[in-house]
Amino acid sequence: MIWDRRNECLGREEIDQLQLERLQSALNRVYRNVSFYKKRFDRLGILPDEIQTLQDLAQFPLTLKEDLRESYPYGMFALPLREVVRIHSSSGVTGKPTVTGYTKNDLHHWSQLTARVLSAGGVTKDDVVQITFKYGLFTGAFGLHQGAELIGASVIPMSTGNTRKQVVIMQDYKTTALISTPSYALLLARHMEKEKIDPKSLSLKLGLFGAEPCPESMRREIEERLFITATDNYGVSEVMGPGVSAECEQRNGLHLNEDHFIPEIIDPVTGDVLPEGSKGELVFTAVQREAMPLIRYRTRDMTTLRKERCGCGRTLIRMDKIYGRSDDMLIIGGVNVFPSQIESVLMEIEGVEPHYQLVVDREENLDTLTIMVELGEQTFSDEVKKLQGLEKKISKNIKEFLGVSAKVQLVEPKTIARSEGKAKRVIDNRKY
Ligand SMILES: [Zn+2]
């Protein structure tokens, strides 16, 4: 179902016109009310009024996560704190947190946008929605919670953890839609297998996944193990939270709510705007936010935007699933490689665990890539010949899909270090 037919099915010219008007207004608001932007625009000698077309946006400077950190906590707010009714922030694991504020109107828009996401994923007022994101400063749980209530679904605010109880609630309360990270969905499936609970005995039929990448292979696995239809959705805490983009039933990209977030694709190295259909880093201008409009915010997420019409009737531009982070990008022998792409290749191969480490070296001016891949317990006991075959297969698939040559080294189960936070996926020994 399309939640907001009027705004999700606009003609291209109408969208462009709407974006331009909202952009002009947002640029004026930040210039008047946010000293960070005023200083920047003044330094470059650009005035918000000079913007005549959407392409003119490219003249304005990019906003980085570091800029938000330096403005901690309220420096990026365009309104006084008394207008702000909600505050969320990032965890701040890797530095100062980034804070984002919402006015009443922002919350209203946010609910509308997550209602679009949930409707695209198949949720209706007849559904019982179990939310397993953490309720707290993180935007995921509250954002989708509001949207689900707006639709009229019955919402179970479970928050994270306690897998046993999550499943009991699912059984007793007859949950029909699960909202979680894709990896948590797999954890639930594993738990049910261990406890001999048949997923088919549940009322579950939909899974809406976000907060981390969900490659196609992972989606398939979740669907097969939980007997549900899974859709992917995408959010950025700094620009809003969930509600930025989501898959429809066609599942050929995520419809981006571009009436609120104007997307651009840039070259992550030069910062130049790339033509439509190019792979690059996603940048957003949040034109409708009152408390915290952001101009050209670098998400660091790599994707492609597509304008072709979708079979569902929505006209909103679509983005491909995120295939990596621009700050993770490795350039190996001139080819751009993302650890997530290697992970996708590995996940397609049976007997291989998604635990790996990439070692990059430079020998006689040539870049070399070694992929250490962990084996599952069963595969590890196989005979040497079989293992050699597996090494060859991984190497061949990497070459075929990513265009780089790699040496593959299979290692014993559980030998690659795990850490609580981000796994150390890459060891780059090259001297620049
Ligand atoms: Zn669609």
DSSP for residue 226: H
8 Å CB contact between 406 and 345: no
User: In terms of Cα–Cα distance, which of 129, 350, 120 is closest to 247?
Assistant: 120
Cα-to-centroid distance, 6 and ligand 1 (Å): 15
Cα-to-centroid distance, 199 and ligand 1 (Å): 28
Cα-to-centroid distance, 120 and ligand 1 (Å): 8
Cα-to-centroid distance, 258 and ligand 1 (Å): 14
Q: Is the peptide bond before 73 cis (omega within 30 degrees of 0)?
A: yes
String of DSSP letters for 267-319: -TTT-PBPPTT-EEEEEEEE-S-SS--EEEEEEEEEEEEE-S--TTS--S-EE
Cα-to-centroid distance, 248 and ligand 1 (Å): 5
Cα-to-centroid distance, 321 and ligand 1 (Å): 14
Cα-to-centroid distance, 254 and ligand 1 (Å): 8
Res. 94 pLDDT band, cuts 50 70 90: low
Contacts of 17 (CB under 8 A, 6+ apart): none
The rounded percent of the chain whose pLDDT value lies above 70 is 98
Cα-to-centroid distance, 2 and ligand 1 (Å): 9
Res. 330 pLDDT band, cuts 50 70 90: confident
Q: What is the pLDDT of residues 354-404, one digit of tens each?
A: 788 999 998 888 889 999 998 888 887 778 888 899 999 999 999 998 888
CA 322, chain centre distance (Å)? 6
Alpha helices in 357-420 (DSSP H): 377-380, 384-402
* Residues with Cβ–ion distance below 5 A, ligand 1: 248, 250, 310, 312, 314
pLDDT of residue 349: 87
DSSP for residue 253: S
pLDDT of residue 93: 67
User: In terms of Cα–Cα distance, which of 83, 81, 78, 151 is closest to 111?
Assistant: 151
Is pLDDT of 322 > 60?
Answer: yes
Q: Give the separation between CA 52 and CA 327, rounded to whole angstroms.
A: 33
pLDDT (mean) for 398-421: 83
Cα-to-centroid distance, 12 and ligand 1 (Å): 15
Q: Which residues make beta-bridge pairs with 426? A: 358
8 Å CB contact between 176 and 207: no
Cα-to-centroid distance, 250 and ligand 1 (Å): 6
Q: Give the separation between CA 145 and CA 88, rounded to whole angstroms.
A: 15
Cα-to-centroid distance, 310 and ligand 1 (Å): 5
Q: Give the separation between CA 169 and CA 177, rounded to whole angstroms.
A: 12
* Most distant CA pair in the chain, distance: 71
Cα-to-centroid distance, 246 and ligand 1 (Å): 9
Cα-to-centroid distance, 212 and ligand 1 (Å): 21
The answer to whether the Cα torsion of 327, 328, 331, 337 is positive or negative is negative
Q: Which residues make beta-bridge pairs with 17? A: none
Res. 264 pLDDT band, cuts 50 70 90: very high
Cα-to-centroid distance, 155 and ligand 1 (Å): 25
Count of positions (residues) in the chain: 432
N-terminal to C-terminal alpha carbon distance within the chain: 52
Cα-to-centroid distance, 113 and ligand 1 (Å): 15
8 Å CB contact between 178 and 132: yes
String of DSSP letters for 92-147: -TTSSPPEEEE-HHHHHHHHHHHHHHHHHTT--TT-EEEE-SPPSSSHHHHHHHHH
Is pLDDT of 421 > 60?
Answer: no
Cα-to-centroid distance, 193 and ligand 1 (Å): 34
Is pLDDT of 420 > 70?
Answer: no
Taking each helix axis from N to C end, the angle separating 139-151 and 104-120, rounded to the nearest 10 degrees, works out to 70
Cα-to-centroid distance, 116 and ligand 1 (Å): 12
Q: Give the separation between CA 305 and CA 276, rounded to whole angstroms.
A: 6
